[in-house]
Chains A and B, each alone.
Chain A
């Protein structure tokens, strides 16, 4: 299983899939239903919504497979890269992380978080405007970036 590995970038980047959702009853359910029938286990999920449409973003074990299945069902899907960072599941965890990015003037497009089951850590998925700059800054700031394989084991 190497679904999270990104060629040429070490394995500091994670693949995320985004799905266009029309603002219409039952569309989110339909997307979930398609993935569920294909046995896809969603590791993390967020929805950006506007009055007109929604964007469903997910971390799944095999993004290319999930993309294929969704496209067969007429969804528009995009695979792109994000950064996953581990922070302590306690007050201030996110503060430190964003402080590092802020000081380096790195713009965050969006982020979402999920809590690990087995440890006392939380995982934060971040999309910075410039992904490589984001990774570099976080590494310099001593923040531990999760490798694809790490996330895979969650």
Chain B
């Protein structure tokens, strides 16, 4: 099930040689064709010839999301728009969208890395891939599409939303692989159960889930309810889209396709490069992109890298499941809180579903955290004291996990918003 054995099982020295060669080329190309990079490198007193070893990458200044935004729309392109054959953008949820331009060769690379990713979910030309990532400017839909077709899978470009249609297609087309956000997978499982769709009508065997943060507890839940292997895919529009990294069936970290994307981990405050295995912010450099090379992009995603061969046989470096995002990160009374921690706490209670919303407020100059959780039949009782006990036990679990007292409010089932894309988990009402 290894799509490109030569690339995916390359020895370390061979890979480092390839990475260095590609890094030198991409830095030179960026310097010569993108005024932004020429300026940044000149300001830092670095010339492309200074890249003599992989470690020399640390001389290059970081690229941030706001740098890309300032270059809106086409300021980061290293080729003429004549050679750009496709454009994608981010959703722009945190400001103006950032634009990514692809040449024909970039699309080839994209298809290749996603083909490697889907192959980790054991996709072959016999499989029917129900692709519920949104098609359009969002990279999710077309990225998976190109990868699936490269393998020769039957790709159903159903896109996001329209749950009834999704359920019909699962049953009628006998989809074997599903690709969507993990929260949408949970929602689909809920609808399949509610509508009592017979298990034998569902042929799904694997799911490739990404575009938002999730937890091991959620994986167990999805695997149990949808009866699939649930694998984590990672990517970002600024770099290419989905297909930067993907979990294999070992489910012990995501393989970064490091012959195309060079990863580093830095301390988000000091920006120092951290040693292997330490947790910090992931920084990525595109090694092969033509249309829009990106050097040392700060992803804001918190993870750690682990080298060495995986039991699956691949030598691609692995990154841990993302445990936080500096943007999503909440600071409550000085304590760092990630929504994923609250989710983990909630899922430790039997019968709880991961439908929750976090509301931060500052009523009397002091931060307060409210967690709204949907009630389920398993938790409910005719006695006030039992319901109170459940509520208090959720509060205790969250307290144990994050070290802060929170107020848990029980709400009615299906009353919290279910987004069909990224789930809205945090509402910050504080005014700073």
Interface residues of A (CB under 8 A from B): 16, 18, 20-22, 27, 48, 50, 52-53, 55, 57, 74-78, 80, 109-110, 127
Interface residues of B (CB under 8 A from A): 375-377, 379-385, 387-388, 391, 409-415
Note all chain A residues with C-beta closer than 8 A to B380.
Answer: 18, 20, 76-78
Quick check: A78 and B412 within 8 Å, CB to CB? no
Note all chain A residues with C-beta closer than 8 A to B385.
Answer: 109
Of listed A50, A78, A110, A127, residue having the most chain B CB within 10 A: A78
Quick check: B383 and A53 within 8 Å, CB to CB? no
From B381, B391, B409, B410, A78 is in contact (CB under 8 Å) with B381
Quick check: A50 and B376 within 8 Å, CB to CB? no
Note all chain B residues with C-beta closer than 8 A to A74.
Answer: 412-415
A76-B413 contact in complex given A20-B375, A50-B388, A55-B387, C-beta closer than 8 Å: yes
Note all chain A residues with C-beta closer than 8 A to B410.
Answer: 20, 22, 52-53
Complex CA distance for A78 and B415, rounded to whole angstroms? 19
A18-B381 contact in complex given A53-B387, A55-B387, C-beta closer than 8 Å: yes
- CB B364 to nearest CB in A, in angstroms, measures 18
Quick check: A78 and B414 within 8 Å, CB to CB? no
Quick check: A22 and B412 within 8 Å, CB to CB? yes
Q: With contacts defined as CB atoms under 8 Å apart, how many contacts are there between chain A and chain B in the complex?
A: 55
Of listed A16, A76, A127, residue having the most chain B CB within 10 A: A76
The 5 closest A-B pairs by CB, nearest first: A18-B382, A22-B412, A76-B380, A74-B414, A76-B375
Complex CA distance for A22 and B410, rounded to whole angstroms? 7
Note all chain A residues with C-beta closer than 8 A to B411.
Answer: 22
- CB A37 to nearest CB in B, in angstroms, measures 18
Note all chain B residues with C-beta closer than 8 A to A127.
Answer: 382-383
Note all chain A residues with C-beta closer than 8 A to B412.
Answer: 20-22, 27, 74-76
> Nearest CB to that of B415 among chain A residues?
A22
Quick check: A76 and B377 within 8 Å, CB to CB? yes
Quick check: B384 and A48 within 8 Å, CB to CB? yes
> Nearest CB to that of B377 among chain A residues?
A76
Quick check: B384 and A55 within 8 Å, CB to CB? yes
12 further contact pairs, Cβ within 8 A, besides A53-B409, A76-B377, A127-B382:
A18-B380, A18-B381, A20-B375, A20-B410, A22-B415, A55-B382, A57-B382, A74-B412, A74-B413, A74-B414, A76-B412, A109-B383
